[in-house]
Amino acid sequence: MKNINQLFRAVHMPVKAWVLNQSLTDSYDRYVEAYDFNASGYPINAHPLTKRETIELARCLASSKDLQTDFLHCPGILPDNLLHLRHGMGGFAVWYTLARKVRLFFSPSLSIPNGEAYVPALLWRATGDTLSLYALKGRKRPNADTQLFHAPFFNVHENGNVCMGTADVSFDKDCTLESFIEQWHNLFYNTYFSHLFTRHIPCRSNPVNLWKMLVNKGSRFPEDELVDSRIKLKNLLA
């Protein structure tokens, strides 16, 4: 029988802690603060995370086999519409889609018929459990300084975060990039658009009237309806 007494005698004391701080007004404005501990186990010496400590933290996380995954790996050629990719644990992808016609579903309370309608070019940023969505103007491939516009949909917060309601958002830990993008498209477009958020109107005219017109007439999405988000693509790459 294996002797495990030494496991109970092993004592671990805290030596370092990291705290992630986030702006109350901008969810992408974050920084990490590090703490040391004294001999009594109390945190001391709060300071911004140094380069050396960042490397130390990365090595600690990378050494865990439980966190080493193939999440968002791409077995073939990267898709042309991919703009940024961080694979593995905590990974995310940023991609764009051109203006196109898709099938949309609306809550009966909006009195908008379900059906196909043109949507503008879109900028997608997704992790394994969150989706942020913005609109684009034109047909050019976005770059870091491309201006983003509010996605003109219901269910989207002012900061771009999409409310997925009761949708089952889950991905395998070895999900490929291609499957990841396809699943997010399906999750978003197969959700019923139902509500706006307080003080946020995502387009210049009444969104109910706008989408009712787009579904009924089949006309292309008018880019002059888009509202500037005051965010550029480079703000989404951290």
CB 187 within 8 A of CB 101: no
Q: CA–CA separation, 139 vs 117, rounded Å?
A: 18
Cα angle 61, 234, 176; round to 5: 50
Query: Residues 6 or more apart from 210 whose CB is under 8 A from it?
Result: 152, 203, 225
Query: How many CA atoms are closer than 13 Å to the CA of 6, on its beta-carbon side?
Result: 2
CB burial readout 6-19, b (16+ within 10 A) else e:
eeeeeeeeeeeeee
pLDDT category at 65 given cuts 50, 70, 90 is: low
Please identify which residue in the block is written with the tokens 């307080």: 198
* pLDDT value, residue 14: 84
CA angle in degrees (0–180, nearest 5) for 104-81-129 = 60
Give the confidence band of 68 by pLDDT, cuts at 50, 70, 90. low
For tokens 């109350």, the residue is: 24
pLDDT at 159: 95
Of all residues in the chain, the percent with pLDDT exceeding 90 is 59
184, 169, 157, 202: which is closest to 26 by C-alpha? Answer: 157
Task: Report the side by side order of strands in the sheet with 228-232.
Answer: 82-86, 92-97, 121-126, 131-136, 147-150, 228-232
End-to-end CA distance of the chain: 50
How long a stretch of residues is the chain?
Answer: 238
Quick one: pLDDT at residue 61? Answer: 62
pLDDT band at residue 3 using 50, 70 and 90 as cut-offs: low
pLDDT digits (tens, 9 = 90+) for 146-167: 999 999 999 999 999 999 988 8
**In angstroms, rounded to a whole number, what is the distance separating the alpha carbons of residues 66 and 139?**
41
Nearest to 200 by CA among 143, 147, 151: 151
The residue ranking higher by pLDDT, 238 or 72, is 72
pLDDT in tens, 73-131: 888 899 999 999 998 777 899 999 999 999 999 999 999 999 999 999 999 999 999 99
**Cα dihedral across residues 185, 192, 92, 60: positive or negative:** negative
Q: What is the mean pLDDT of the chain?
A: 88
Residue type, 99: A
Which band of pLDDT confidence, cut at 50, 70 and 90, is reported for residue 202?
very high
Task: Please write the tens of the pLDDT for every residue from 132-146.
Answer: 999 999 999 999 999
- Residue 12 pLDDT > 90: no
